[in-house]
A and B are shown apart, each in its own frame.
Chain A
Amino acid sequence: MPKTTPFHNCLAPYNETGIWKHWSGYLVAPRYQYSTIAEYYAIRNSVAILDTSPLFKYRISGPDALRFLQSVMVRDIGQCKIGDAQYTCWCNSDGFVLQDGVILRISDDNFRLTAGEPSLHYFRATASTLDLSNLEIEDLTNDYGILAVQGPHAYSTISQLTDATDSLSYFELAQTEIEGSPVLLSRTGYTGDLGYELWIKAEDADRIWQCLISAGHDYNVIPIGLEALKMARVEAGLLLLDVDFQSARFAWVDEQRETPIELGWRWMLRKLAHDPRDFIGRDAIEKQMTEGSNRWTTVGLSIDWNDYERVHLEAGIMPPKYELYCESTHNIYRRGSHEWDYAGYATSFLFSPILKKPIAIAKLPNELAKPGTEVDLEIPIIKKNRNVLARVQRMPFFNPTRKTDQPARKAAL
């Protein structure tokens, strides 16, 4: 039997479709309504609640905690102020990415971390290898549930329950209470929109859920499933483990592995020249940066709307757009004198409901990675593959100012 999250009993009545799937062995809804697009627009237009409790959750604390994270993580958590969060990744010694995740710095030596794959054994073994013993690494996965409250009215909803949102900037966190229960609140999310994530003790799940649903009622709050989330994350240019990359840990060959540079996370290494840390994989990554020897660069692709229409209309069909999201590999070719000149591949493909055009996340060699570069993207049309024109575009594709702006408390009418 699959496990259930602390919110399962609250969420089950909302699932009109009766469809559940598994995420790390927990039951989660791909969608609650018959319409994924309606759930997507809760993220972009009103407010959505997503249960992300299946994420693995760790507490890393003690005098060596900071040093441990500084030695493991690609970004320097020492640069992250107390009360801030940091999106980061960690690599093996060859510089290949094991995972990405968000670290919350609660105090000087107390951190929380979320990860897509189990990492307790890896962290403990690594601490031991690094000879760091004055720290504790605990698995909190089943002690807490996490709810992501995302959308333009995320603030209007949560600010009714706590004042902590008022001064909370992008990637800041606060320890607060909702109805007397402790909640760890961060202004983070996986949607590229205004949003918050709440760590809630498993035993408080029902009560906090009810509070959020009541507070969001007047803003049309709905629970949303993973499909809507995934659509939003492509627009936000956020990579997904096992879709846009895979963990180096269980890969067989290096062709399956990728470095932070290859994943488009060069920004994580911006301050490397002034960063004396010796984190795992640093040498390999630095060598790759110096030599420009990365095999790929992860980029956004904007598919030419007219060409996308043309290839479908020529085949006599309406171009598929509605709720179109796929995670299969699409090959990319150079546009030149001969067809099918392989250049790279796309991993996530979406017809963006808000941008009204198809977009994709793709891997291209450096010489094709410059924004504006034209390539051919292969898509299947009635059992035949056709090429459509696509252009390299900087990610995120969609980046509303409300994501980082300080929301204003609404005056009572």
Chain B
Amino acid sequence: MNNETNYDAIVIGGGHNGLVNAAYLAKSGLKTLVLEQRSLVGGAAITEELIPGYKFTTFSYALSLLRPDIVQDLDLASHGLTVLPMTNTFQPGFDGEYLLLGPDKDANFHEISRYSVQDAEAYRDLNHLINRVCHALKPLVDEIPPNSASQNPADLAEMAALNQYIEKLPEDIRAMIDKFANCSAAEILDEYLESDLLKAQIVSSGIIGTKAGPRSKESGLVWLFHRLGEYDGVQGDWGFHKGGNGGFTQVLARAFESFGGTIQTEAGVETVLYENSQTTGVRLKDQTQINAPIVVSALDPRRTFMQLVDPADLPGDLVQAIQDYKFQGTASKVNFALSDIPNFPGLDGRADIFTGFTNVGPSFDYLEDAFADCLAGRYSRRPFLDCCVQSTVDPDMSPPGKHIMSCFVMYTPYKLAESDWDAERENLGDTVQNTLEEFFPGFSKLVEHREVVTPLDIERFVGLSEGNIFAGELFTPQMFLNRPAPGWNQYRTPISGYYQCGSGTHPGGGVMGGPGKLAARQILKDHHAAMKTSD
């Protein structure tokens, strides 16, 4: 079967990076097709109305890392982009203790002072230093990284320029980057702060989605990564997209279509087609063949290199690197439809405490215990939870007066030592509910519906290998020059015309769009060069 239509470019996977990539290609005039295996686009950024009136952010649930230039380049505001600010962060502790941080730095000073006056001040210093680090790294996040494996003079020059850029950074910023790359988040935090509750609140960014505890050396970089985002220029701040992150990917889909792009859903791709290392198109699972000289995989590196093409056609060192690339998903979601807002004793009836992240994980020890379960091959008996009640900000997420709560759950290893996820799914739901009951007494009575999404479900429904939400761990050996593999970090593949644009490429995971944007830049550069040669 041969499809009548030919395209300039086909993007495999309608997640946010696939859509961003496709929108850039379509905007620059390429006739572009997005193929999505599911019935809706969005990938891991979708919103589903599982029961009438309740909108579940099944997987991802907040925005910050989204590169702001994408919003401008693709004119997302005119397609309905609406990012609602998450103004508060709530950290429940034990015995009625809590930390409620908000948008006012002086109010935060006094709130932290309840635990440590010294921390209240040091917190500002630490934040300012991290903000400067993120600012210094911004050009690296928003550019195609150099190729460290090449001896080509142009590539060598780019590597030299990179080293020079780093060397020219102020001493304290370079030292801090070193720490983030090599130390645990706990080590760094212990240098600055003393309050357990405050440190536990901050460290959540260092462990989230990652097989690492607060004291694991990988947590430093994961923390830094999650600070790279912004809300209207305020670094590290987060927002909810109106209607959930599915609302955001619908905006992307509209933008793509406004540039003349085509979306085809329920169109799983069986294989990328190529002859003599030259891409010719794709074959769908229903055996339809669609031709295009450019094919972009928005899937993760394992699927991009081991499934969509024959690894036998690839260089051995690349195949080895992809085989070694770590997925090891450890995160789940448990989402609740609630009849009312959860209650925290002492702050009874306060809906405003839920207008941002609510982190359940009051100390390093609590989090390390949760991680110890993970290392033993079982899910945490007392999990770390990152909860959001978006309906407190966006009334259209739930029926009037009701609420929807998204809980990101750690640690839930993809491979369970003594059971499997189909057997444990509801047990995990009970464990999460019991933990919430501990911190928010009466919670269970509010539950009207519960959705449990295990790492296995993430893999099954979204296609992310082993359920890793970042399309591969955010570990130093898998970032920047090495994402997904040394020499293959510039969105190209060994097959001419076949590209990669998923979160497994630089700058990485999260609803960032950076990989999609930078891959498009590379594709268009190559495309224009090819057009010139053929002229």
Interface residue? B68 (CB, 8 A): yes
Cα–Cα distance between A218 and B398 once the two chains are bound (Å): 10
The residue that B400 contacts in the complex, of A35, A44, A219, with Cβ under 8 A, is A219
Cα–Cα distance between A313 and B392 once the two chains are bound (Å): 35
> Which single residue of chain B is at the shortest CB-CB distance from A351?
B232
Q: Mark A203-222, 1 if CB is under 8 A from B, else 0.
A: 00000000000000111100
Q: How far is the CB of A117 from chain B (nearest CB, A)?
A: 34
Q: Would you call B400 and A41 a contact (CB within 8 A)?
A: no
Q: Mark B365-401, 1 if CB is under 8 A from A, else 0.
A: 0000000000000000000000000001111000111
Q: Would you call A357 and B102 a contact (CB within 8 A)?
A: no
Cα–Cα distance between A255 and B497 once the two chains are bound (Å): 63
Cα–Cα distance between A245 and B52 once the two chains are bound (Å): 50
Q: Would you call A220 and B103 a contact (CB within 8 A)?
A: no
Cα–Cα distance between A313 and B69 once the two chains are bound (Å): 14
Interface residues of B in 109-133 (CB under 8 A from A): 131
Interface residue? A356 (CB, 8 A): yes
The residue that B53 contacts in the complex, of A46, A153, A413, with Cβ under 8 A, is A413
Interface residues of A in 257-272 (CB under 8 A from B): none
Interface residue? A38 (CB, 8 A): yes
Q: Would you call A220 and B395 a contact (CB within 8 A)?
A: yes
| Cβ–Cβ < 8 Å partners of A217 in chain B | 401
Q: How far is the CB of A411 from chain B (nearest CB, A)?
A: 11
Q: Would you call A357 and B232 a contact (CB within 8 A)?
A: no
Interface residue? B231 (CB, 8 A): yes
Q: Which of A63-71, A122-130, A315-323 contacts B (4 or more CB under 8 A)?
A: A315-323
> Which single residue of chain A is at the shortest CB-CB distance from B52?
A413
> Which single residue of chain B is at the shortest CB-CB distance from A151?
B395
Q: How far is the CB of B184 from chain A (nearest CB, A)?
A: 28
Q: Mark A33-74, 1 if CB is under 8 A from B, else 0.
A: 111011001001110000000000000000000000000000
Max count, chain B CB within 10 A of own CB: residue among A46, A153, A353: A353
The residue that A355 contacts in the complex, of B77, B85, B400, with Cβ under 8 A, is B77
> Which single residue of chain B is at the shortest CB-CB distance from A319?
B233
Cα–Cα distance between A219 and B104 once the two chains are bound (Å): 25
Q: Would you call B233 and A37 a contact (CB within 8 A)?
A: no
Cα–Cα distance between A319 and B69 once the two chains are bound (Å): 13
Given known pairs A41-B84, A217-B401, the reply for A34 and B102 (CB within 8 Å) is yes
The residue that B72 contacts in the complex, of A38, A220, A305, A354, with Cβ under 8 A, is A305
Interface residues of B in 81-109 (CB under 8 A from A): 81-82, 84-85, 87, 102-104, 107
Q: Mark B47-85, 1 if CB is under 8 A from A, else 0.
A: 000001100000000000000110110001100011011
The residue that A38 contacts in the complex, of B69, B71, B77, B85, with Cβ under 8 A, is B85
| Cβ–Cβ < 8 Å partners of B81 in chain A | 356
| Cβ–Cβ < 8 Å partners of B103 in chain A | 34-35, 37-38
Q: Would you call A322 and B401 a contact (CB within 8 A)?
A: no
Interface residue? B355 (CB, 8 A): yes
Interface residue? A306 (CB, 8 A): yes
| Cβ–Cβ < 8 Å partners of B104 in chain A | 34-35
> Which single residue of chain B is at the shortest CB-CB distance from A219?
B395
> Which single residue of chain B is at the shortest CB-CB distance from A37?
B85
| Cβ–Cβ < 8 Å partners of A318 in chain B | 131, 135, 230, 233, 235
Interface residue? B1 (CB, 8 A): no
Q: How far is the CB of A87 from chain B (nearest CB, A)?
A: 26
Max count, chain A CB within 10 A of own CB: residue among B52, B69, B232, B394: B232
Q: Would you call A357 and B355 a contact (CB within 8 A)?
A: no
Max count, chain B CB within 10 A of own CB: residue among A35, A355, A357: A35
Given known pairs A217-B401, A357-B72, the reply for A46 and B394 (CB within 8 Å) is yes
Q: How far is the CB of A171 from chain B (nearest CB, A)?
A: 26
Q: Would you call B107 and A354 a contact (CB within 8 A)?
A: no
| Cβ–Cβ < 8 Å partners of B531 in chain A | none
| Cβ–Cβ < 8 Å partners of B235 in chain A | 318
Q: Mark A305-342, 1 if CB is under 8 A from B, else 0.
A: 11001000100001111110000000000000000000
Q: Would you call A321 and B395 a contact (CB within 8 A)?
A: no
Interface residues of A in 1-59 (CB under 8 A from B): 33-35, 37-38, 41, 44-46
Given known pairs A45-B242, A318-B135, A357-B72, the reply for A38 and B87 (CB within 8 Å) is yes
Interface residues of B in 203-256 (CB under 8 A from A): 230-235, 237, 242
Cα–Cα distance between A322 and B232 once the two chains are bound (Å): 5
Interface residues of A in 373-413 (CB under 8 A from B): 413
Cα–Cα distance between A44 and B82 once the two chains are bound (Å): 9
Q: Would you call B400 and A354 a contact (CB within 8 A)?
A: no
| Cβ–Cβ < 8 Å partners of B52 in chain A | 413
Q: How far is the CB of B107 from chain A (nearest CB, A)?
A: 6
| Cβ–Cβ < 8 Å partners of A219 in chain B | 395, 400
Q: Would you call B102 and A35 a contact (CB within 8 A)?
A: yes
Cα–Cα distance between A305 and B67 once the two chains are bound (Å): 13
| Cβ–Cβ < 8 Å partners of A354 in chain B | 77, 82
Cα–Cα distance between A15 and B71 once the two chains are bound (Å): 34
Given known pairs A322-B234, A354-B77, the reply for A34 and B107 (CB within 8 Å) is yes
Cα–Cα distance between A321 and B355 once the two chains are bound (Å): 21
Q: Would you call B85 and A356 a contact (CB within 8 A)?
A: no
| Cβ–Cβ < 8 Å partners of A33 in chain B | 87
Q: Would you call B233 and A220 a contact (CB within 8 A)?
A: no
| Cβ–Cβ < 8 Å partners of A305 in chain B | 69, 72
Cα–Cα distance between A322 and B52 once the two chains are bound (Å): 35
Cα–Cα distance between A327 and B11 once the two chains are bound (Å): 46
| Cβ–Cβ < 8 Å partners of B234 in chain A | 321-322
The residue that B77 contacts in the complex, of A218, A220, A309, A357, with Cβ under 8 A, is A357
Q: How far is the CB of A235 from chain B (nearest CB, A)?
A: 11
Given known pairs A35-B87, A320-B233, A322-B234, the reply for A45 and B401 (CB within 8 Å) is no
Given known pairs A34-B103, A34-B107, the reply for A45 and B72 (CB within 8 Å) is no
Cα–Cα distance between A357 and B75 once the two chains are bound (Å): 11
The residue that A218 contacts in the complex, of B68, B135, B401, with Cβ under 8 A, is B401
| Cβ–Cβ < 8 Å partners of A153 in chain B | 395
Given known pairs A219-B400, A413-B399, the reply for A353 and B87 (CB within 8 Å) is no
> Which single residue of chain B is at the shortest CB-CB distance from A316?
B135
> Which single residue of chain A is at the shortest CB-CB distance from B392?
A220
Q: Would you call A306 and B395 a contact (CB within 8 A)?
A: no
Q: Would you call A356 and B68 a contact (CB within 8 A)?
A: yes
Q: How far is the CB of B165 from chain A (nearest CB, A)?
A: 14
Q: Would you call A45 and B232 a contact (CB within 8 A)?
A: no
Cα–Cα distance between A44 and B393 once the two chains are bound (Å): 12
| Cβ–Cβ < 8 Å partners of A351 in chain B | 232-233
Q: Would you call A218 and B400 a contact (CB within 8 A)?
A: yes
Q: Would you call B395 and A218 a contact (CB within 8 A)?
A: yes
> Which single residue of chain A is at the shortest CB-CB distance from B402?
A218
Cα–Cα distance between A351 and B234 once the two chains are bound (Å): 13
Q: Would you call A46 and B68 a contact (CB within 8 A)?
A: no
Interface residues of A in 354-372 (CB under 8 A from B): 354-357
Q: How far is the CB of B55 from chain A (nearest CB, A)?
A: 13
Cα–Cα distance between A354 and B83 once the two chains are bound (Å): 8
Cα–Cα distance between A44 and B242 once the two chains are bound (Å): 10
Given known pairs A34-B104, A218-B400, A220-B393, the reply for A41 and B85 (CB within 8 Å) is yes
Cα–Cα distance between A413 and B401 once the two chains are bound (Å): 12
The residue that B232 contacts in the complex, of A46, A156, A313, A321, with Cβ under 8 A, is A321
Q: Mark A129-168, 1 if CB is under 8 A from B, else 0.
A: 0000000000000000000000001001000000000000
| Cβ–Cβ < 8 Å partners of B394 in chain A | 45-46, 220
Other A-B contacts than A37-B103, A322-B232, 16 sampled, CB-CB below 8 A, are A34-B107, A37-B85, A37-B87, A38-B85, A38-B87, A41-B393, A45-B242, A46-B394, A153-B395, A220-B394, A305-B72, A318-B235, A351-B233, A356-B72, A413-B52, A413-B399
- CB<8 Å pairs between A and B, sample of 14: A33-B87, A35-B102, A35-B103, A38-B85, A45-B393, A45-B394, A46-B394, A156-B400, A305-B72, A306-B69, A318-B131, A322-B231, A322-B232, A351-B232
Q: Report, nearest first, the 3 A-B pairs whose CB atoms are least far apart.
A: A218-B400, A321-B233, A34-B104
